[in-house]
A and B are shown apart, each in its own frame.
Chain A
């Protein structure tokens, strides 16, 4: 309220009053006002469209527009602008359209870009001048669009009427094709035109579909051309530089090319297309370049790529196929490749000696591909497993035997493997293929036999490694599987500790055995639990008395600590070391127990007949012949035979060969092998087979006991589910047959494919 505080006027006198009165009548506009002002605005618009500076200030023009609007002339102003926009676009675009695609004044695309840039700039200037119109009239009146929209619709109208938009689209697409063909393209114009189509609302309905369709055609042709002229795979060395779309490519080259195309298209999107186009563009490209040719690509080159271990190319293949959802096809090829390659290995006739090595190599190679190229895709991993299982079991029992042999080879002392870690890796790889074999029981039988041989032949390199391997087998197949193996390992350990225990105290309970005494001949015994170890045929042999004494001494001590154990001597597993005085000097002969027994006879007599030897040793003919042959006819002849010859007859005479010579002090005289291996393996396999048949019968009875009545097919499939080895349908039926015969089961009288359990 500053007025009230104001001091009184120093001048004084009566106060003046200001009186405001309404006008009696509105002042009339000058008659030419509307026309003149409108004309003024029109020429200003012209000026802007010619890129000339407006003669009057923009501010003034704004006021003109405002005042016209205030005087209700808005619709006239608006229609004036409509006319001017129409006229201008008509004029410029017709002029551009009348020119050839490319001319001295620049390409149509460039000119349109120029037009569009000019036009939008002008439009925003005009929009500023006519802001009042835009805000009041255009905004508040129905069916009247904003000035910006009005400007655009003029262009849209013209493009549609003159069919210029089709021409522009064609040019646009043509430009991209030029670029795909490796020529430079006017990216700037393309981006601008693209922008224009977006602003005009013609992009996703019009430009994009046309562009995608052209892309489809382009890549369709390109891929057909490339596929039809595809060349076999070239090794990296002979590969020339990327030859482009028209050159001859091999599949890896093609895949690289596809990858390159995808990158290009991605860039294209960022350079002059809308981001929304990206997914459909890439999908189209992939469909044409990859999806349509999947089987051709795979059939022609997949195997060769795997053969040549082209990891990175396979990686590209994997990524492309997974993008078009064609991993099924890859999976098929992958499985087929493995089966085929595997079968080749399995069936190659002379490959058995290196088969396991080859299988390990194959497995490792495939594992690497899986990991590095196929991103450890779970389906492909399981395909690998299935395929391995399928081919490896095409040779029934052989793989189990060979894999066991390989394991033995790695585990026995004297074999060459780099480091401890190296050995563990090898064993892991063995387990890796062991996993696939069906005859795991057979493997176990072989493994036990080999472990026994390693131990008895003193070839165990390292007990920890032995234990590790058994643990691995246990982890793979469960405790039941390794029971006997673990038992064997326990026996081995206790056998080794036994001498000390017996020595110390005659009364400590423990598990195994051995001992010396009166005449120390270095006697040592291993106690092996029969249930764990392979079975050996007992051998009748009259032992030298020193050994006999040592044995009974041992038994006596052992039975003090281990009650109620029955010991059975396996003479054919024994070995001995005998010192013999030859003319050349003292030698140590490393012999089997049987050989040693025969040798010792000659410490009392210089000459013995076959019959005498037989009487004194109690050996039966075959065995005795073999032994004498090894001593008198082998590489080291510590006995002489009369008459000479390779074969031993019952009438022969033998004498100690005092003239025996050898550069070594210790001589190992090997036994004559009776086609051991073959016979041995067959016996072992028969044994396992018999065992399997018992297990089949037991399983059948178990299943039938649970179900009481069952169809043949259901019974068979349930049985197969329980077995971990292969069995033929005939074998199954034979087992069922014996169970019927033994009255565990009976066949249904009416339905012969049904069985009943007989309680």
Chain B
């Protein structure tokens, strides 16, 4: 059996059969099934990485073309190899910040609803909690979002800038300036951090 056929029949296991628009596509139910098969908890980061590696369009949605090229790139022909490829991806994140950045940026598309221009702060905190080790500001930002009930959404620019903030700004905030181009939300974030720091200090 040609490789292509393996990949195809594998796809068929999860494809959404209840549609009449003729699209070959995996929808969230199918994706969850795949994750189950791989022993991935949906509360974990692995499903997101998997989705990304399979060129997912939005949360839990994979087209056949993405599936095919993704699997070829990972050289994965079965579940074990796929699991291994995902593990390798996670390891590469640690070594290659640019690689992680690409993944991180894509996350925004997976977390938003439809074509909305923002993600809910609830989703943002959930996913940031899974990648906390990738940026010092993530855990702080999660706390900030939880404490700031009036901040209900995070837009793409804020999302992307957060990773940048972790890279550029020192954890003691000594090189943060409100004059710089950081989103206004970060001014409030920094104010909040400073207030909470001085509270703990006192």
A residues in contact (CB < 8 Å) with B? 711-713, 716, 729-734, 736-737, 740-742, 747, 752-755
Contact = CB atoms under 8 A, between A and B. Distances in A.
A191 B118 CA distance: 94
Nearest to B185: A737
Interface string B160-181: 1100100010000000001111
Interface string B92-136: 000000000000000000000000011000000000000000000
Given A740-B155, A741-B118, A742-B117, 20 more contacts: A711-B181, A712-B180, A713-B179, A716-B179, A729-B179, A730-B187, A731-B184, A732-B184, A733-B178, A734-B183, A736-B181, A736-B183, A737-B157, A737-B183, A737-B184, A740-B157, A741-B156, A752-B161, A753-B181, A755-B181
A87 B178 CA distance: 91
B144 interface: no
A733 B184 CA distance: 5
A751 to B, nearest CB: 9
Contacts of A753: 180-181
Interface of B: 117-118, 155-158, 160-161, 164, 168, 178-185, 187-188
Contacts of A747: 157, 160-161, 181
A742 B157 CA distance: 11
Most buried by B among A716, A747, A752: A752
B181 A712 contact: yes
A609 B25 CA distance: 69
A729 B164 contact: no
Contacts of B188: 730
Contacts of B182: 733
Contacts of A731: 184
Contact of B184 (A711, A730, A752, A755): A730
Nearest to A743: B117
Given A740-B155, A752-B161, A729 B185 contact: no
A687 B4 CA distance: 63
26 contacts: A712-B180, A713-B181, A729-B179, A729-B187, A730-B178, A732-B184, A733-B178, A733-B181, A733-B182, A734-B183, A734-B184, A736-B181, A736-B183, A737-B155, A737-B183, A737-B184, A740-B156, A740-B157, A741-B118, A741-B156, A747-B160, A747-B161, A752-B164, A752-B181, A753-B181, A754-B181
Most buried by B among A716, A736, A747: A747
Contacts, number: 55
Contacts of A733: 178, 181-184, 187
Contacts of B184: 730-734, 736-737
Contacts of A741: 117-118, 155-157
Ordered nearest first, which 6 A-B pairs have the shortest CB separation?
A712-B181, A734-B184, A733-B184, A753-B181, A730-B187, A730-B184
Contacts of A730: 178, 184, 187-188
B164 to A, nearest CB: 5
B178 A729 contact: yes
B98 to A, nearest CB: 12
A731 B184 CA distance: 7
A729 B181 CA distance: 9
A541 B161 CA distance: 54
Most buried by B among A711, A734, A754: A734
Contacts of B187: 729-730, 733
Most buried by B among A711, A732, A737, A754: A737
Nearest to B153: A741
A753 B168 CA distance: 12
Contacts of B160: 747
Most buried by B among A733, A740, A747: A733
Contacts of B180: 712-713, 753
Contacts of B117: 741-742
Nearest to B165: A752
Contacts of A711: 181
A416 to B, nearest CB: 49
Contacts of B183: 733-734, 736-737
Contacts of A755: 181
A193 B178 CA distance: 74
A740 B160 CA distance: 12
A524 to B, nearest CB: 49
B125 to A, nearest CB: 19
B135 to A, nearest CB: 14
Contacts of A737: 155, 157-158, 183-185
Nearest to A731: B184
B176 to A, nearest CB: 12
A733 B185 CA distance: 8
B182 to A, nearest CB: 7
A493 B89 CA distance: 78
Nearest to A753: B181
Contacts of A713: 179-181
A729 B179 CA distance: 6
A714 to B, nearest CB: 11
A753 B157 CA distance: 12
A736 B179 CA distance: 13
A733 B155 CA distance: 13
A730 B187 CA distance: 6
A436 B118 CA distance: 41
B64 to A, nearest CB: 30
Contacts of B178: 729-730, 733
A752 B105 CA distance: 14
Most buried by A among B161, B164, B180: B180
A713 B155 CA distance: 22
A552 to B, nearest CB: 49
Nearest to B178: A729
A755 B184 CA distance: 15
Contacts of B155: 737, 740-741
Contacts of B157: 737, 740-741, 747
Nearest to A738: B155
B38 to A, nearest CB: 33
Contacts of A754: 181
A334 B158 CA distance: 46
B162 to A, nearest CB: 11
Most buried by A among B158, B160, B179: B179
A231 B192 CA distance: 51
A755 B161 CA distance: 13
Nearest to A751: B181
A736 B185 CA distance: 11
A752 B181 CA distance: 7
A742 B156 CA distance: 11
Nearest to B179: A729
Nearest to A739: B157
Contacts of A736: 181, 183-184
Contacts of B185: 734, 737
Nearest to B164: A752
A716 B182 CA distance: 12
A752 B182 CA distance: 8
A742 B117 CA distance: 8
Contacts of A752: 161, 164, 168, 181
A747 B168 CA distance: 16
Contacts of A716: 179
